[in-house]
Amino acid sequence: MDSATLIIAGIVGLAIGFAIAKFMEKGKASKTLSNAKSEANTIISAAKTEGENIKKDKIFQAKEKFLELKAEHEKVIISKDKKIGEAEKRTRDKESQVSNELAKSKKLNTQLDGKLKEVTHKEEFLEKKQSELEKLHKSQVQQLEVISGLSADDAKGQLMESLKETAKTDAMAYIQTTVEEAKLTAQQEAKKIIINTIQRIGTEEAVENCVSVFNLESDDVKGRIIGREGRNIRALESATGVEIIVDDTPEAIILSCFDSVRREVARLSLHKLVTDGRIHPARIEEIVKKTENQIEQEIVEVGKRTVIDLGIHGLHPELVRAVGRMKYRSSYGQNLLQHSREVAKLCGVMAAELGLNPKLAKRAGLLHDIGKVPNTEAEVETPHAILGMQWAEKYGEKPDVCNAIGAHHDEIEMKTLIAPIVQVCDAISGARPGARRQVLDSYIQRLKDLEEVAFSFGGVQKAYAIQAGRELRVIVESEKVNDEKAAQLSFEISQKIQTDMTYPGQVKVTVIRETRSVNVAK
């Protein structure tokens, strides 16, 4: 009984506890729901407030944007109104100007109409007078025909014949007088033009010789130039082809060679060696090569300065180089560049005196002797006038210049008026007293021929005529010519000189064969 009661009491207690728990849970849920509703209402009200604020901001921004656009639009309208006002003002000015012009035109038309009426009236008056004169003339002619017994045509014919005979006689007499005066004055006028031309041109005389003097600061340098057992001076002579004479002349060394280019190379090389102080065979060869390149550059500079001084433009670089090479050439002892400059100036002045193109004549005068400085030995056989003409044609010179160059020694026919001017000016420059020496030119030609004999043999590297043509120094290639062949070559060259050439005295032939072994340590 007691256990059953306890069980029932326990069950009832559990039921009551479950009911109480359910009631409490329901209360909590309703409280949570009410809290959520309250929070939701708060969020909604806050969102509404924020939305109202955003809406107000956007409306305010839109109003500001509208005001800005309105202000800009008003500015544009004001600018357009201003432009329209300016255009209207210009239009009014133009209209006013056109009105003035129309008024002037009307006034001019009125004046022209008055003038036209006046001219028409005068023309009618003149026609009336002309008809009266014609009638009067006819009546006078008829009266003359009756008096003379001749018709007007017959009288006119007799008068024409009489006038023809008189005119013929007067014309013949005038022609005869003019021809005689021309014969008397033509030669005088030609001489006057030439004399005036020569008087207006003043050039210095330049006579090249075969010797240059190299001055030294002291005689102590001579020993260093000669070197031990003469090796330095031999190396210098071999490299330049110039004979170097070291004698008792105080503070001076003499350089002797017929070729002025070689003498200049030797002089400049000596100057560099003495200034530097290092004088030995290897250094000598290096300096000589550099000096040869320097001389080549100087030749180009001399050519450029010459054409600039003479006012000649558009000359091909090769022709400029040929002009520069003329500085180191001579013709009958006369420096070729000075001669060509003189001829160019004479041609320019003489062409101006005769009413021709002085620039073209000056150009032809400068280039007339470029054939005397050939580039290769093969070109030596061609006459210098023809060779110069070929060069001028090759490098785009005008036909007048080419013909003047080729015809100045009558190798070809003269086809322009410039050609005889170049020929005459060449003769004037060459005929000047002291300008040329025939003996020197033949002497230089003999030395050149002497060197050419050596070059005609195989294995010859260099050949120099020295001692005024009394010695021929030949340098051979050691790989092609041995010692025995060198001796044989010396004999063959001497025999050929003896057979082919005419010369005073004796010619000594020296063949030099040098062997070098060069290695580089790395």
| Average confidence (pLDDT) over 95-102 | 87
202 pLDDT band (50/70/90 cuts)?
A: very low
User: What local confidence, expressed as pLDDT, does residue 266 receive?
Assistant: 85
What is the overall mean pLDDT for the chain? Answer: 80
Query: Quick check: helix, strand or coil at residue 254?
Result: strand
HEC assignment per residue over 207-244: ECCCEEEEECCCCHHHHHHHCHHHHHHHHHHHHHCCEE
CATH level 2 (architecture), domain 446-513: 2-Layer Sandwich (3.30)
| Average confidence (pLDDT) over 196-220 | 60
Structural domain boundaries of the chain?
213-297, 332-431, 446-513
Contact in structure between 298 and 505 (CB atoms under 8 Å)? no
* Other CB atoms within 10 A of residue 201 CB: 19
- Is pLDDT of 334 > 80? no
- Residue 512: which H helix or E strand, with range? strand 508-513
Among the listed ranges 297-306, 307-316, 435-444, which one has the minimum average pLDDT value? Answer: 435-444
| Average confidence (pLDDT) over 122-147 | 81
The length of the chain is 522
- Structure letter (DSSP) for residue 258: S
User: What local confidence, expressed as pLDDT, does residue 200 receive?
Assistant: 57
- Is pLDDT of 163 > 80? no
CA 469 to chain CA centroid, Å, is 43
- Residue 297: which H helix or E strand, with range? helix 281-309
H-type alpha helices, 315-357: 317-325, 336-353
208 pLDDT band (50/70/90 cuts)?
A: very low
Residues 6+ apart with CB under 8 A from 490: 474, 509, 510, 511
Question: Fold identical between 213-297 and 446-513?
Answer: no
Q: How many CA atoms lie within 13 A of 191 on its CB side?
A: 5
Q: Give the CA dihedral 432, 434, 440, 445, nearest 10 degrees.
A: -10
Contact in structure between 510 and 472 (CB atoms under 8 Å)? yes
Contact in structure between 252 and 216 (CB atoms under 8 Å)? yes
Token pair, residue 197, equals 């031309």
> Which amino acid is present at 385?
A
Token pair, residue 78, equals 């004001």
* Phi, psi (rounded to 5 degrees) for 212: -125, 145
Contact in structure between 193 and 354 (CB atoms under 8 Å)? yes
Task: Give one word for 97, left, alpha or beta, with left for phi > 0 and alpha for psi -120 to 50.
Answer: alpha
How far, in Å, CA of 334 to CA of 426, rounded? Answer: 12
Beta bridge partners of 474: 463, 511
* Phi, psi (rounded to 5 degrees) for 89: -65, -45
User: What local confidence, expressed as pLDDT, does residue 190 receive?
Assistant: 66
Q: From residue 6, how far is each of 2, 20, 271, 357 by CA, in Å? A: 6, 21, 147, 157
192 pLDDT band (50/70/90 cuts)?
A: low
Among the listed ranges 74-83, 105-114, 210-219, which one has the minimum average pLDDT value? Answer: 210-219
Residue identified by tokens 């000096």 is 291
Token pair, residue 393, equals 């044609």
DSSP secondary structure string for all residues of 402-417: HHHHHHTTTSS---SS
Tell me the fold of 213-297. Answer: Ribosomal Protein S8; Chain: A, domain 1 (3.30.1370)
User: What local confidence, expressed as pLDDT, does residue 331 receive?
Assistant: 67
How far, in Å, CA of 298 to CA of 502, rounded? Answer: 37
Among the listed ranges 175-189, 271-285, 312-326, which one has the minimum average pLDDT value? Answer: 175-189
Task: Give one word for 270, left, alpha or beta, with left for phi > 0 and alpha for psi -120 to 50.
Answer: alpha
> Which amino acid is present at 136?
L
User: For residue 474, with 0-12 CB atoms within 10 Å meaning exposed, 13-18 middle and 19 or more buried, which class applies?
Assistant: buried
Q: pLDDT tens digits for 7-42?
A: 887 787 788 878 787 777 777 777 777 788 888 888
| Average confidence (pLDDT) over 123-148 | 80
Greatest mean pLDDT range, 27-41, 105-119, 164-178, 331-345: 105-119
The CATH number that domain 332-431 falls under is: 1.10.3210.10
- Is pLDDT of 229 > 50? yes
Contact in structure between 312 and 338 (CB atoms under 8 Å)? no
User: What local confidence, expressed as pLDDT, does residue 126 receive?
Assistant: 87
| Average confidence (pLDDT) over 176-183 | 70
Furthest-apart CA atoms within the chain: distance in Å: 209
- Is pLDDT of 204 > 60? no
Q: What angle do CA 451, 456, 459 make, to 5 degrees?
A: 100
CA 26 to chain CA centroid, Å, is 115
User: What local confidence, expressed as pLDDT, does residue 438 receive?
Assistant: 46
User: What local confidence, expressed as pLDDT, does residue 233 receive?
Assistant: 81
Residues 6+ apart with CB under 8 A from 227: 233, 234, 235, 279, 280, 281
Contact in structure between 388 and 370 (CB atoms under 8 Å)? yes
Per-residue burial over 147-166, b = 16 or more CB atoms within 10 Å of its CB, e = otherwise: eeeeeeeeeeeeeeeeeeee
User: What local confidence, expressed as pLDDT, does residue 435 receive?
Assistant: 47
| Average confidence (pLDDT) over 78-93 | 88
Percent of the chain with pLDDT over 70: 85
- Structure letter (DSSP) for residue 516: -
How far, in Å, CA of 244 to CA of 65, rounded? Answer: 102
Among the listed ranges 67-81, 283-297, 363-377, which one has the minimum average pLDDT value? Answer: 363-377
- Is pLDDT of 182 > 50? yes
Contact in structure between 481 and 513 (CB atoms under 8 Å)? yes
How far, in Å, CA of 466 to CA of 262, rounded? Answer: 12
Query: Quick check: helix, strand or coil at residue 163?
Result: helix
How far, in Å, CA of 260 to CA of 348, rounded? Answer: 29
Beta bridge partners of 487: none
Q: pLDDT tens digits for 424-478?
A: 888 887 765 444 544 456 667 778 888 888 888 888 888 888 776 778 888 888 8
User: For residue 417, with 0-12 CB atoms within 10 Å meaning exposed, 13-18 middle and 19 or more buried, which class applies?
Assistant: middle
User: What local confidence, expressed as pLDDT, does residue 213 receive?
Assistant: 77
| Average confidence (pLDDT) over 411-431 | 84
